[in-house]
Each structure stands twice: as structure tokens, then as C-alpha cells.
Structure 1
Amino acid sequence: MSLNNPAGLALTGATARSIELLEQAEHELRCFIGDPVATVDRALTEAPDMVMGHVLRAYLHLLGTEPAGIPVAAAAHATAAKLPANERESRHLRAVALMTAGRWRAAARVLEDIAIDHPLDVLALQAGQQCDFLLGDSRMLRDRIARALPAWSMDMPAWHAVAGMLAFGLEETGDYLRAERYGRQAVEIQPRDGWAQHAVAHVMEMQGRRRDGIAWMRAAPQAWAQDSFLAVHNHWHLALFHLGVGEIDEVLALFDEAVFGRAPGLVFDFIDMSALLWRLHLRGIDVGERWQAVADRWAPMAARSLYAFSDMHAMMAFAATGRTAQMRSLIDAQEMALAGEGDNAGFIAEVGRAATRGIAAFGEGDYASTVRLLRPIRHVSHRFGGSHAQRDIIDLTLIEAAQRDGQRALAEALRAERAFAKPEPDAPRVRSA
């Protein structure tokens, strides 16, 4: 026997109360607030045989690429696999199994098909878009959500999440006008939707609207930052806006207070820490002992490569602190991962290996090697995940390496290309060294 959730989707093994708790947990995930793991655990205490409770628990431990999350997700899958399940739930379990095995592309396809048949399945849309992000699949970030739109209307409770996801997909495909419109609409409906808030920040970052970005992020931080597990990343966006207008003291204060100081210790938070300090490093700005603290966070992950995009950011911390043993360990870990069966092997082969080694070479002062390694991958860097704003670090590093290596014609050409594509009207004038 099964009951339906508010969208009319059947939930095997559920009770009325467990459905309320599951919906609360999914709402928390949609907004990136609260503690959805604790909420779904309460739902499962109420209804241990509710398959989608175990599915959600697995997704929550997989989508952050946390090494410790994999065995938790595997255990959730093993429990749910023994329970009666309907066709939709069985497909979700297949997606979980694929993610647990590191097969993100295949999982994304399963979730794509679920959403085609069940466009009101917001969890399938959200988990699928998170897969698209990890894969760097810009088109699917947009199209996965656009396909479901005919089934939705603005008066539906989860519309804000659909609009926020669509906003991010539109931004990553360069449709900035519509992206900002959908993102602002989502935040107006649900001010606590951190993903929609972040989608609008991405638009302003890509358009170089630094002052607009500062105003957007500082208008209502209590809504997007309070009790939000996307707060570190959104503060990172605010710091980038301040960096773009040369307000270094503000950048360092944000790092100390919100990016590093309040971080719960997730891999995605470590990425933001490294990405912000590396931008300062490229400008020759002394950040004191901050790098050492970030490198300490990354240290336990140096011996294993699970996601090449993370590896590049870990290498920034190791290179900036001169931790040669951990640099070598990370490079060796990538070589071992190349022999694996999951998608990370492809991420490393296509982009991650060159990106990680290019960062290492920069840290060692071998700027010629940095240029040699980064130039061939800059146009295909989306293949190892992240957003346009995050992958911009590759171009910034390449430009600085070319300048330091005396390849001034290349550096100036890259700056001219950048200025044409991204005018950055609020940024201070760039002056050649």
C-alpha cells in the first residue's frame, strides 16, 4: 500500500506523518537550509519502509562528493533495495547505485528519464541538475528543467525551486536576461532559496556587475545565509564581487568570518576557500597563515582522488604552502584513479590531470610548464565539472603564468580576449607588470 506526496507521486511504505517529514526534508534540500539529513531520519523513524526516505538519505550523502558519504549512501541503498518499490522509486534506486559507483553520467541519464515521465518529481530534477553540475554539462543544467516546465505553474509550492534551478541553467548557457528574471522571481517567492540567490549572483559575476552583485548579496543576507549549507559558497560570490573592485580588506574579512570561519567542513567549502585564496595569490597578495589552515583541511584527502575538480583546488593549497609530499601524493592518487571504472577517470584524463599539474607547476615557479599544461584544456575545462565562474581560475592562472614566464604577447592576447568577452565594468583597470 502506498500514499501520495503533495505532487501526487506514490510513496511506497509511507505514512501521512512520514510524508510530511519527507516533504520538509526535500524543502530544506531545495533551499539548502536546515538539516535535511536529520529530518529524513525522523521520517524513516516514523516509516522505516518508506523507500524514498532512504533514497533521499543517499542523495544527501552523495551529491556533496564527500568521501565519508559513500558508505552511508551504499547502506541506505542496501536497505531500500530489500523493500517493495514502485517503478519510479526503483529508478531512483538505480540512480543511487550508479552514483555510489562513481558513474555520474549514467545516473544523470536515469534521473533525466524519471523527470521526463514524472516532471513533478522535484527530487529527480534537483538531483539530476546536481549531477549536471558535477559533470559540467551546461546544456542539461538548463534543458533538464525546461522540459518539465509545461507541468508546472507559479502557484505550486515548489515552483521557486524549479525557477531557481532554471535560472542557474540559463546562466550557464549564457542567457543572462532570463536567468536573472527567473532567479529574482524565485527569491521573491521564497527568500530562503539559496540556490536561486546564487544563480543571480552568477549572472552578475559573468557580466562583471560587481557593484550590483554586492548590493544583491548584502540586501538580505539573513535570508540566504542563516542556517544555510550554501552560505559559504554564496559568501564566496560576495567576496569575488569585492575582489573585482579591489576591496581586498573586505575579501579577507569575508574569508575569515564566513568562508573559512563558519565552514562546516565540507569538500565544496574547501573548494571555495582555495579558490578565493588562489585568486589573491595570483595577485601577489600576502594572506598570512590562512593557506596553512586550508591545506590542513585538504590534507586527509591527498591520497585519494574521487573528483578531479576537487583535486585541482586541493593542489592550490598544497602548492601555496610548499607541501611537496602531499603534492606528490595527490598526483599519484590521480594516476591510480585513471585506472578506475568511474567517471572520475575521464575527468582526470580530459582535464583534471593537466589542471592539477599546472597548478603544481605554478606553485613551484615553473611558469612555462603551467602555460604548457593549461593552454590545451581551457576550452574543454567544463568536462571536469564546476561552473563558468569557478573554472575561470584556470584562465586567471594561465594569464599570470604567461606574464611571469615572460610570454608577454600571450598574456596580453589573453587579457584582450578576456576584456572583450567579459568587460567587467566595475573592475579596477588592469595594468601589466
Structure 2
Amino acid sequence: MSQKDQAGLALTGASPKAAQAYCEALSLYHRMGGDPFTLLEQAITDSPGFVMAHVLKANLMLVGTNPETMMGGIAALETAKTLAGTDRERGHVAALASVAAGEIRDAGRILEDLSIEHPRDLQALQAGQLMDFLLGDSRMLRDRIARVLPHWSDAMPDYHAVLAMLAFGLEESGFYGRAEAAGRRALELQPLDAWAQHAVAHVMEMQDRRADGIAFMRRESTGWQQDSYFAVHNWWHLALFHLGLGETDEVLRLYDGPIYGEASTMDFDKLDAAALLWRLKLLGVDVGDRWRRLADVYEQGVLGMSAFTDAHAMMAFVGAGRADGVKAVLAAQDQALAAPGDNAGMVRDVGLPLIQAIAAFDAGAYAIAADRLRGVRNRSGRFGGSHAQRDLIDLTLIASARRGGDAGLEKALLAERANAKPLSIGDEALLARAA
């Protein structure tokens, strides 16, 4: 008798014991916490031909990690390619092969089709939304989830994850009230859901509800702090709330603690660290030796694979005064432009001009920095990330206009920002104070 997962989908090659371990790992994946790897290793040891166990392992390892972890994901994918499976399972393998080849759009389309045919396949949905995030596709972040909603209800296992993904998609589409409601409902169902926590934090960031955000992260909902492998990013959101209130000492305390107190080689962790230090740099805050330590870690990494992560590497090298690192990032972009995969377009459309702007800003060439940033900010979604992450572009543009003495541009930018964030209580005041 073939085994099935929580949604009743076939699990080719799994024994009952392996299927149980996999389902437990899958639930951990859906809330982004715990130790799914140990469970997956148990499943694979018991049933080496269990294709979806290898698929989930690869999904956990291929994106946002370090080169060593990525190689583990490639190994899991290569094993999965040799195993038997249903058409649905083979679709997962094909999507992973596209990810490994840098073809993020192709992977997203394969997963999109899987979700249309199998709307209860939550792994396809979650992996698909990650592709949308990497592409900065706010519409698909929302609509990929909306399509499957008629097939889900509160009574179904892991429904909280559907609501959490819906919340993030709604937030990135500007439906803040609905997004917050969906995220909070997800947390009622599963208080440990780190993605739901993250979605509500995004709402509060975009509305500049700094005090609300601090209360939410520190007192209202604290399950994400316990055992989430996504916790660094949520701590980063808490730091942004404190930064918006001018509480830079608390920001540095969080940086030195849960955000980057222990240097991480994971791409997503490094870019959070770089983005936070860059915001402090724009405010004129002395961060001591932190840039040097972050740049040391970036020097151990690989450049040219992601325009989004390379832009943050440039921040680290500029912040640390590493001329060789700056040259290496620029050289990597030249190579990336000629490489296969979606990253070439991301570099061309956004990454390279942004990286050049960061270097120009640091060199005091504020007019050049502003010109590059004005050219990319309205299309910056093309190289991935969220609105909150890409806000760094606008903040750097405002700082460039101010430091370059372009009062007209500065006033125009502040007026548009006040209109876009009517609940704002002080981003601009902080920048003015720094000036």
C-alpha cells in the first residue's frame, strides 16, 4: 500500500516509518522552524528511494544558503533525478533542476502548474512563493496563493501556512488590512509560524507603525523566537522598528545579539546584516568594527550568482573600505551579464546600476549615485526581495540628494514618501538629523 502525506498525495518509495518522519519534517518546513533535516535523514536512511524526502531536502538547501549547503542541495537533487515518482513528484524534481540552473522563472512556472493541478500540495505552493520572492513578483506572491484558497479550510493540517503565505502576498500588493488579518489568523492556528510573523511585521513596517511593531514582536507574538531558522530576519524587522524610533543603541544591541552576534555564512543572514549596517551608515551612526567583520565573511563567499545578494556584498565592502572587494563585486557583475539564467537580466536591469550607486555614494559622488538610483528604483522589483528590503534604494537616494546639495530633488522625494506612508512617524526626520 502506497504512503501518502497530510494532503493525501502519494509518496513514492516511502515506508510507513519514512512517510511519518517526512510529514513531520514537512510541517516544520511550513512553519520554518525546528530541525527538519534530522527527520529527513531518518526518512532517507529508512527509504533511500523516497523521492519527496530528497526533494524537500533540496528545497531547504538550495536557496539563500552558503556554497557548502547548496552543494548538499545539489546532491539531494541529483539523487532525486534517479528515482521513480509520480508526475507530480517528477514536477518537483524538474522545478529544482531549474532552480539549480538559475532559471527561477521556469521553476516558478513549473510549481505554478503543480499548484493548479494539485492545490493541496503545500510544498509546491511554498517553494513557488519563494520563486516569486526571488523575482520580486508581488502579483504572483498574492495570486499563487489565492488560486488554491477554495481547496483549503481551517480544519486541514498546516492551513496556517497557506494563510501566512497569503498574508505576505497581500502585504506586498498593498492590501495591508487583509494581510494583517490573515497573518494574525495564521498565528492563532500556529503560534510558531515564522512566516506569518514576518508577514505581519512587513505590514507594520510599510505603515511605519514602529511602536506597534515592537509590541507585536516582543510581547504579542513571541513564538518565532524559539526555534525558527528564519528568526534572524524577524529580529531584523524588530531592529527596523527600533531604528525608525531613533533607538540606535537598541539596533546595535540586536545586531550584536540575535542578528549577527555569531557570524553566519548564510546569504539571507549576511544581507540582513549588511542592510542594517547600511541604514545606520545613512544615519551617520558609528558602527565600530562591524563592517570589517561582515566583510571578512563576504570575502569567503561566492559572487555573481545573485544581483540582490551582490548588492549587499558591495555595501559590506564599501563599509569596510575594502577596495579589492569592491573591484571583485564589479568584476562579478561583468561575468554574470554573460552567464545563463535569470540573474543576467537582474544584473542588467537593477543590480549593476545599484552597485555602482553604492560605490559612488561612498566616494562622495552623490550626483552620480542619485542618477543611478533614480534610474532603477521604479523597476527594482525585478531583482527580487520585498518592498521593505528594497526601501534601502529610496533611503540612499534621499541621502544622496541631501548630501549632494540637490534640495529640489530632496524635497520632492520627501513629499512622495509622506504621501506613500501617511502613517509615518519619522523616517525623514531621522535622515534630516543625520545630515
Query: What's the TM-score, normalizing by structure 1?
Result: 0.97
Give how far 1:38 is off: 2.4
* 1:309 counterpart letter in structure 2: F
- Could you tell me how far 1:424 is from its partner in structure 2? 4.1
- 1:366 equivalenced with 2:365 (yes/no): yes
Question: Which range moves more in the overlay, 197-206 or 216-225?
Answer: 216-225
1:227 Cα offset (Å): 1.7
Residue number in structure 2 paired with 1:227: 227
Partner of 2:261 in structure 1?
261
TM-score, L = length of structure 2: 0.96
Q: 1:429 to 1:125 in 2, by over 3 A?
A: closer
The match for 1:351 is 350
Contact in 2 for aligned 1:67/1:306 (Cα 8 Å): no
CA distance in 1, matches of 2:338, 2:69: 22
* Cα distance in 1, alignment partners of residues 310 and 12 from structure 2: 39
Aligned length: 432
> Could you tell me how far apart the structure 1 residues matched to 2:67 and 2:348 are?
21
The answer to whether structure 1 residue 107 and structure 2 residue 107 are counterparts is yes
- Describe how 1:25-64 pairs up with structure 2 within 5 A: 25-64=25-64
Cα pair 1:57 1:73 within 8 Å, conserved: yes
Displacement of 1:163 in angstroms is 0.3
- What are the Cα deviations for residues 385-428 of structure 1, in whole angstroms up to 9, with x where unaligned? 00000000000001101111111110111011111111344337
**Residue aligning to 1:323:** 322
Please say if residues 59 and 73 of structure 2, whose CA atoms lie closer than 8 Å, have aligned partners that are also in contact.
yes
Q: Return closer, same or farther for 1:90/1:429 CA change in 2, 3 Å cut-off.
A: closer
Residue deviations 1:80-134 (CA, integer Å, cap 9, x gap): 2222111000111100110010100000000000010000000000000011101
Aligned-pair identity in percent equals 53
Q: Which amino acid aligns with 1:126?
A: Q
Q: What are structure 2's unaligned runs of at least 5 residues? A: none
Q: 5 Å matches for 1:286-297?
A: 286-297=286-297
SS of alignment partner, residue 376 of structure 1: helix
* Pair 1:323–1:296, CA change in 2 (3 A): same
Asked if structure 1 preserves the Cα contact closer than 8 Å seen for 2:191 and 2:224, the reply is yes
Deviation at 1:316, TM superposition (A): 0.6
Q: Which consecutive unaligned segments of at least 5 residues does structure 1 have?
A: none
Distance 2:269 2:385 in 1: 13
**CA positional deviation for 1:263:** 5.7
Shift of 1:344: 0.7
Which residue of structure 1 lines up, in the alignment, with residue 7 of structure 2?
7
Q: Which residue of 1 aligns with 2:248?
A: 248
Shift of 1:65: 5.0
Contact 1:322 / 1:363 at 8 angstroms: preserved in 2?
Answer: no
Equivalent positions of 1:346-425 (< 5 A) are 346-425=345-424
Q: Partner amino acid for 2:330?
A: I
- In structure 1, the partner of 2:333 is 334
CA distance change for structure 1 residues 369 and 112 in 2, over 3 Å: closer, same or farther?
Answer: same
Instruction: For 1:219, give the aligned amino acid.
Output: R
Matches of 2:356 and 2:216 in 1, distance apart?
36
Partner of 1:194: 194
Work out the CA distance in 1 between the residues paired with 2:236 and 2:47.
Answer: 39
What value does the CA root-mean-square deviation take over the aligned residues?
1.4
Once residues 57 and 50 of structure 1 are traced to their aligned partners in structure 2, the CA distance between those partners, rounded to angstroms, is: 11
Return closer, same or farther for 1:55/1:273 CA change in 2, 3 Å cut-off. Answer: same
Which ranges of 4 or more aligned residues in structure 1 deviate by more than 6 Å?
none
Distance 1:255 1:396, change over 3 A: same
Question: Quick one: distance in 2 between partners of 1:357 and 1:36?
Answer: 40
1:89 counterpart residue number: 89
